[in-house]
């Protein structure tokens, strides 16, 4: 007996942000799609012994049955799922997980869809957010240190021919092999480092001093838990190396000629002034970044809601990709990926929370950018690229265009937040609208 009507969907709440739909597409709709699919196949197929468009249904089913069932199931899922989402007004994030039953002859079609939805967020009052901004101070020592780095970058290396033992301050050329756990060793040739400079792990530099040219050495380096490279944080790397050559670093004199050649300044005094101005600008930018992070942190802390798991996982993937982490090969590499994922996960969840709060604020204050603003941003990006047409082609893709619109909207929302919060300079009590 045929089941008449449209597809029916029942909702199961797995959490506030995760739903499961049980969908049943009635037999009459299934039959219509099958009839339509076989009619299309009938007119497009070429079967021996039958004129085009004249092959009987049972022959078509025996030859194309599996293909047709797959195509019909895909169309039924797509159409019925979109109807169910619209009916229940779900704001889906990520891709749904579809569990499909077999398409049985003479029966309704059933499947299950599990997916995440955007949480309902009511943005709280922002006026209670207060942040103190550090007042950046650049000292004479900071200027001299930066001048020293610039001088180092202009140094000439001279071979050391009158001795073969490494001393502190020598620039050493060596071949270096590193191994992390059971992973394949990484080999680098002609690595240059300054003994005692602190640029390399101390255990390696300490082993170098006193070594002869041609000598082999080994050292184990345990990196601190808060090391910047999360793949090395808290782990021990075994290094093995061979000293190949020694050089002396010949530094140029600090004079007006140096200022003109290396600093594009008329004099050494002018170069120092330029360095100070650059350091002060960097310090102000850093202080502003700290303010923005502190404001965002307080904004997120004021809102409690469940975070869609799919968004957190996607952000973890993006963060690992930015670290240059590739697909794992072997148990050791897979374990490393797992540890890295756990390390970046808290930050990923915080970032997702921040984005969702800004999205809610953008919607409440109607801060969504118009098409003209999006196109203007695309034009500005293209203007600074060597191949502007590739930029325009990239943002012509709907997903890239939508992502840019979202990014601009979130920036607008955060700028709005900054007009509502109190930002004071260290030691100051006045309210500042923008950092």
Q: Using one digit for the tens of pLDDT, what is the confidence trace for 57-101?
A: 888 888 888 888 899 999 999 999 999 999 899 999 988 999 988
Measured over the CA atoms of residue 350, residue 356, residue 361 and residue 366, the dihedral's sign is positive
The structure tokens listed for 35 are 């009839």
Pair 100, 34 in one domain: yes
Phi and psi angles of residue 209, each rounded to the nearest 5 degrees, phi first: -60, 125
For residue 177, tell me if it sits in a domain: yes
Pair 28, 83 in one domain: yes
Pair 212, 277 in one domain: no
Provide the residue range defining the domain that includes 24: 8-117
Q: How confident is the model at residue 55 (pLDDT cuts 50, 70, 90)?
A: confident
pLDDT given for residue 341 in this prediction: 86
For residue 186, tell me if it sits in a domain: yes
Q: Residue 214 sits in a domain of what CATH number? A: 3.10.50.40
pLDDT given for residue 432 in this prediction: 38
Pair 193, 108 in one domain: no
Pair 61, 141 in one domain: no
CA separation (Å) from 130 to 294, 296, 354, 389, 432?
9, 11, 17, 44, 10
Residue 16 has pLDDT above 70, yes or no: yes
Residue 213 contacts residue 246 (beta carbons within 8 Å): yes
pLDDT > 90: percent of the chain: 53
CB atoms within 10 A of CB 272: 19
Pair 282, 147 in one domain: yes
For residue 140, tell me if it sits in a domain: yes
pLDDT given for residue 85 in this prediction: 92
Residue 365 has pLDDT above 90, yes or no: yes
Pair 75, 222 in one domain: no
Binning the chain into helix, strand and coil, the percentages to the nearest 5 are: 45, 20, 30
| Partner residues linked to 221 by β-bridges | 237
For residue 275, tell me if it sits in a domain: yes
pLDDT given for residue 4 in this prediction: 45
Residue 14 has pLDDT above 80, yes or no: yes
Pair 204, 264 in one domain: no
Pair 102, 169 in one domain: no
| Partner residues linked to 319 by β-bridges | none
Q: Residue 67 sits in a domain of what CATH number? A: 3.30.70.1050
Mean pLDDT calculated for residue range 410-418: 94
Mean pLDDT calculated for residue range 378-386: 91
Pair 193, 223 in one domain: yes
pLDDT given for residue 331 in this prediction: 60
Pair 140, 287 in one domain: yes
CB-side neighbour CA atoms (13 Å) of 119: 22
Q: What is the pLDDT of residues 319-351, one digit of tens each?
A: 888 877 665 566 666 777 788 888 889 999 999
For residue 434, tell me if it sits in a domain: no
For residue 72, tell me if it sits in a domain: yes
Total structural domains within the chain? 3
For residue 69, tell me if it sits in a domain: yes
Mean pLDDT calculated for residue range 102-131: 89
pLDDT given for residue 2 in this prediction: 36
Pair 141, 191 in one domain: no
Give the whole-angstrom CA distance, residue 423 versus residue 369: 26
pTM of the complete model: 0.71
For residue 406, tell me if it sits in a domain: no
pLDDT given for residue 186 in this prediction: 86
Return mean pLDDT, the chain: 87
pLDDT given for residue 78 in this prediction: 92
């Amino acid at each position: 007996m045929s089941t008449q009507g449209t597809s029916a969907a029942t909702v199961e709440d797995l959490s506030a942000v995760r739903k499961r739909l049980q969908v049943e597409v009635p037999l009459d709709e299934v039959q219509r799609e099958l009839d339509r699919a076989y009619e299309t196949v009938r007119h497009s197929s070429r079967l021996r012994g039958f004129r085009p468009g004249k092959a009987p249904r049972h022959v078509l089913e025996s030859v194309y049955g599996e293909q047709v069932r797959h195509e019909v199931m895909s169309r039924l899922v797509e159409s019925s799922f979109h109807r169910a989402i619209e009916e229940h007004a779900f704001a889906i994030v990520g891709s749904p997980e579809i569990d499909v039953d077999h398409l049985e002859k003479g029966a309704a079609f059933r499947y299950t869809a599990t997916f995440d939805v955007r949480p309902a967020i009511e943005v709280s009052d922002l006026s209670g957010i207060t942040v103190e901004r550090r007042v950046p101070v650049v000292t004479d020592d900071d200027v001299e240190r930066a001048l020293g780095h610039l001088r180092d970058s202009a140094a000439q290396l001279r071979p050391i021919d009158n001795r073969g033992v490494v001393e502190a301050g020598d620039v050493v050329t060596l071949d270096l092999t590193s191994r992390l756990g059971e992973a394949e060793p990484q080999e680098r040739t002609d690595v240059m480092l300054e003994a005692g400079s602190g640029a390399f792990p101390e255990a390696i530099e300490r082993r170098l001093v006193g070594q002869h040219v041609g000598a082999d050495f080994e050292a184990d380096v345990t990196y601190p838990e808060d090391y910047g490279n999360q793949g090395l944080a808290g782990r021990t790397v075994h290094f093995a190396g061979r000293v190949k050559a020694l050089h002396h670093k010949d530094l140029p004199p600090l004079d007006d000629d140096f200022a003109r050649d290396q600093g594009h300044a008329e004099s050494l005094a002018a170069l120092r002034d330029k360095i100070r101005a650059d350091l002060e600008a960097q310090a102000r930018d850093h202080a502003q970044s700290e303010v923005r992070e502190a404001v965002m942190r307080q904004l997120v802390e004021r809102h409690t809601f469940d975070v869609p798991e799919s968004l957190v996982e996607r952000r973890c993937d993006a963060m690992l990709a930015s670290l240059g982490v590739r697909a794992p090969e072997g148990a050791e590499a897979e374990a490393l990926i797992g540890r890295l994922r756990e390390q970046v996960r808290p930050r990923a969840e915080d970032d997702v929370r921040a984005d969702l709060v800004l999205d809610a604020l953008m919607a409440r204050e109607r801060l969504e950018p118009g098409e003209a603003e999006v196109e203007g941003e695309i034009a500005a990006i293209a203007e600074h690229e060597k191949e502007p047409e590739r930029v325009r082609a990239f943002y012509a893709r709907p997903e890239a265009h939508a992502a840019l619109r979202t990014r601009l909207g979130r920036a607008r929302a955060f700028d709005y937040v900054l007009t509502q919060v109190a930002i004071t300079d260290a030691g100051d009590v006045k309210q500042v609208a923008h950092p």
